[in-house]
Structure 1
């Protein structure tokens, strides 16, 4: 319990994101040691940040337990392996339901909220067939395709990843579906209990959906939709991207058709999905990625003197730049650059972008 309290305190402290959390644990070995070092690191970065208290963390842990859920933390045995291989994997997830589903091979199914009746029927039937093939169907508990996917896979196993807190239901009409998933499937949330979903939470939810799974299926989706964001995240993580073709006259099919043009696997049946996933890493599910392909958080951060620190910070601007480029231009060791970036992020002066890029806040 004390270790859980320290882990939750660390991630709930200001400016500690997924990358920073992992770097702090690598540098200080334990969450408590990282917490003990945090005030000095923040001061050295030239700022001030709120550090979550033990009482706050204990209260949140107790509230989640009272709701019937629990936390799983990255770096522990319960945390899903495939998700942990992604750069921005959430350090803490609140979950409710059957944790055994996290050990089974998963496939994501996403699509339009304002989906056509034909697409809803297809998604529901496809999800049923995939669950009968022992795949866990993962989606976002939204209207339309998401809801159909969960309904089709409810008996075989489904995971609903929500944008708000574990106790939040959105949209409201999915209250009974979310309750059913919490009873026989698994509901997953990154946000603290009591959080209502906001626009910025949905892309964060999408990265969890894609990260949990060996592949992502898009059933219907417009060219600029959250479904295509999920597909892009899956592709960047080296996962299989699959799409169901549709009429070129239907705007809801344009995103899927574009994905197929760009190389996504065309899907018409459950057999197509199983064949596509079987080609990724030679097998489906938990050990999708071969040794050496997991995300590398970089070297353990080292302290820098004031001159070196100012030199590295001077190379940063509001335009994102690759950390490797900072190492090259600064002439400093990668571990030294990592230490300066860590200090700067903890005081709110750094923004991390996809692909290992950083910028001044």
Structure 2
């Protein structure tokens, strides 16, 4: 649907599907492409989950419509993967959110972006460097992306209020965290944007921040880490950036400062050393020339689900595929080869199990069986 736009009815259906239990971005894409559309996928969810061994909660029509109405009242709109206002670099990432809540000016996404992240308890020198770096990059036309956290994130955002910056939230767009950055978030909306994949009213939990970090890495062509301890969320952002082919850069810090141990470790492991904004621009120039690959298509058709349900695997075939799964990740291609089933049948069984909460899909597409205690 690249360059197209959802109808209001399709947008509600997409929101219902992604808000339904056990439906993440990768499952969403598989369901829509298998069924031929979100509406048909929603109709087929109960039977699919039942075959996986569990009933699931499906987001209702009124619930989705209410969320859209509340978002609209707060100046938030849901931009779909493939629409022109969706961040193009993020759209090319496997597992990109199918719907992204956006408050502010989505036109900023047309600019090349760089993420600046780092320690929440950053030193004065670290904050000053992040502010200087962001100011110069913003002045050179770059869009600066960060996570609205205390310390380095806040310094980068404040420095680029006038040139435009994007803050990615771990909670709903009406749940700014930390709360003291509510005014900063409001100022960002004037020339930039706030984005989140989470529902309105969602208070962020610890597990939500890595999800936020993958969006930060996905929007940007590269990530600059300024001060990060060994067990830092910024290192998660750097790892996710590496996995999706983004440039990882770091500013060197004192070996005596534990806040720099993680960022210095990135340099030891091969990250690009930067001390000035032109170092960042030089490192990212090849990525601008290459540009992001196009995203895999998502069907907008509203096909009936009868054809899909007719492909229901038999118990023997389902059991054979389930037997091959374990706690260690397995590539889908290997499951196809070892089970002797055709690829579409394997994908159907995996969808059944995923909707029932019995397997998890890794960022690289591999699947692993969850602990049986978490199935209920």
Same fold (TM over 0.5): yes
Query: Match of 1:357?
Result: 366
Q: Which deviates more, 325-334 or 166-175?
A: 325-334
State the shift of 1:118 in Å.
0.6
Which one of 334, 337, 342 corresponds to residue 328 of structure 1? 337
State the shift of 1:295 in Å.
6.8
Which one of 254, 258, 262 corresponds to residue 265 of structure 2? 258
Distance 1:271 1:184 in 2: 24
Query: Match of 1:185?
Result: 192
Contact 1:158 1:185 in 2 (8 A): yes
Query: Unpaired segments of 5 or more residues in structure 1?
Result: none
Deviations 1:274-293 (A, max 9, x none): 0000123635xxx234x6xx
DSSP-derived class of the 2:289 partner = coil
Query: Match of 2:320?
Result: 311
DSSP-derived class of the 1:233 partner = helix
Contact 1:312 1:337 in 2 (8 A): yes
**What is the 5 A alignment of 1:21-36?**
21-36=28-43
Contact 2:120 2:150 in 1 (8 A): yes
Distance 1:130 1:333 in 2: 50
The one of the two structures with greater contact order (alpha-carbon pairs below 8 A, sep at least 6) is 2
State the shift of 1:317 in Å.
1.8
* Aligned length in residues: 352
**What is the 5 A alignment of 1:124-203?**
124-203=131-210
Which one of 279, 287, 291 corresponds to residue 280 of structure 1? 287
Query: Match of 1:346?
Result: 355
State the shift of 1:296 in Å.
9.4
TM-score when normalising by structure 2: 0.90
Distance 1:43 1:262 in 2: 46
Contact 1:14 1:51 in 2 (8 A): yes
State the shift of 1:230 in Å.
0.1
**What is the 5 A alignment of 1:201-220?**
201-220=208-227
Matched, 1:80 2:84: no
Query: Match of 2:50?
Result: 43
Distance 1:41 1:170 in 2: 37
Distance 2:342 2:282 in 1: 45
Q: Which deviates more, 351-360 or 151-160?
A: 351-360
DSSP-derived class of the 2:245 partner = coil
Q: Which deviates more, 25-34 or 214-223?
A: 25-34
TM-score when normalising by structure 1: 0.93
Contact 1:282 1:288 in 2 (8 A): no
**What is the 5 A alignment of 1:218-257?**
218-257=225-264
